[in-house]
Amino acid sequence: MEKENAKKIVFSGIQPTGSFTLGNYIGAVRNWPLLQYEYNCIYSVVDQHALTVRQEPATLRKRTYEALAMILASGVDPEKSMVFVQSHNPVHSQLSWILACNTQFGELSRMTQFKDKSAKHPDNVNGGLFTYPILMAADILAYNAHGIPVGSDQKQHVELARNIAQRFNANYGETFVLPEPFIPAVGAKIMSLQEPTKKMSKSDENINSFILLSDDKDTIMRKFKRAVTDSDGVVKYDTENKPGVSNLMGIYKVFTGKSFEEIEKEFDGVGYGVLKEAVGTSVIEALAPVQSEYTRILSDRTYLDSVMKNGAEKAQRYSQRILDKVYRKVGFVQLKNK
């Protein structure tokens, strides 16, 4: 028990905005079950974050179940880790307000994701989109999480959470653990298969640019065969000059465990067609067990509802203690007999 308590906390979240991409999987979710042994892990379907972009209510509800099923299918065990839906724990929104009062407008204005998303949706640059990183900081700080397993696109947000925590501690005394991003050495940024200098994203208009975890094996192979490479025909890892080929090699490395040197040797002189097919096969094989688990779990609503309920209770109980402490520190009057 003593040792259990000494384990550090890991927190991560994913938005329920459609099927996960191969980028979500390699950059984040695939690593989540691996951390369950060394850390006390907390994983959330962050539905409140998803509202920063317009959502159709019935679709959001459906996708929330799908995201939860996919997290479980990836190997996260709700007996070992806390798994819950963000809107089921009001502490996140409550803490978010306190943190907002400790965050500067200038800091939020510098967030590259805000700049990108507001350029992409100029008709809906809402307050939530701007203050999103504060809610994300609340997700993390509500559990005093130390390690945040994310892809490299979330690094800036985790660093902001750390700065907010540091500032709060300086103003009110030691309260929050300072979080740090856990970014995988390979696959922290899986690139688009069509424009390999851009991140792979499910919001891309070109469906051939991303692999979805829900894609069947023919679709996966077809998308890899169409992947944009270059014209010199040499399989060599060079992200600067050969982003397409390097992206394919990165994906292959993740699923085969081979080094870039071994991959270069394996495909020496054979052309890109063979590489694309091998990458496609490695992805199909790696995703097959996750996909069949996903179908099984998603069909069991009673089970998913019970995971949500248990997770929400645990998450709320855990984070309420931290919120109470924060409320005391900032000077809110505590109700007597609480």
Which lies closer to ligand TYM via its Cβ, residue 14 or residue 160? 14
Residue 47 token pair: 């539905």
Least Cβ distance, residue 187 to ligand TYM (angstroms): 6
* 24: amino acid identity, one letter: N
Q: Does 199 bind ligand TYM (CB under 6 A)?
A: yes
Q: Is 199 a catalytic residue?
A: yes
Residues in 87-116 at the binding interface with ligand TYM, rule: CB under 6 A = none
* 334: amino acid identity, one letter: Q
Q: Is 338 a catalytic residue?
A: no
Query: Judged by CB under 6 A, which of 70, 82, 150, 279 binds ligand TYM?
Result: 150
Instruction: List strand residue ranges (DSSP E) for 160-263, in order.
Output: 180-182
Residue nearest ligand TYM by beta-carbon distance: 27
| H/E segment holding residue 291 | helix 272-298
From 189, 207, 198, select the one nearest 251 (Cα to Cα).
189
Q: Residue 227: which residues within 8 A CB-CB, separation 6 or more?
A: 193, 194, 196, 244, 247, 248, 276
Which lies closer to ligand TYM via its Cβ, residue 43 or residue 267? 43
Which lies closer to ligand TYM via its Cβ, residue 2 or residue 8? 8
- Span from 53-61, 184-192, 247-255, 324-332 in contact with ligand TYM (CB under 6 A): 184-192
CB atoms within 10 A of CB 288: 11
- Applying CB under 6 A, what is the total number of residues that bind ligand TYM? 26
Give the chain's count of helices (H) and strands (E): 14, 5
Q: Does 190 bind ligand TYM (CB under 6 A)?
A: yes
| From 199, 223, 242, 276, the catalytic residue | 199
Q: Does 140 bind ligand TYM (CB under 6 A)?
A: yes
Residues in 46-85 at the binding interface with ligand TYM, rule: CB under 6 A = 46, 49
Q: Report DSSP letters for 243-254, one per residue.
A: HHHHHHHHHHHH
Which lies closer to ligand TYM via its Cβ, residue 90 or residue 303? 90
- Give the phi and the psi of residue 47 in degrees, each rounded to 5: -70, -30
Q: What are the catalytic residues?
A: 117, 199, 202
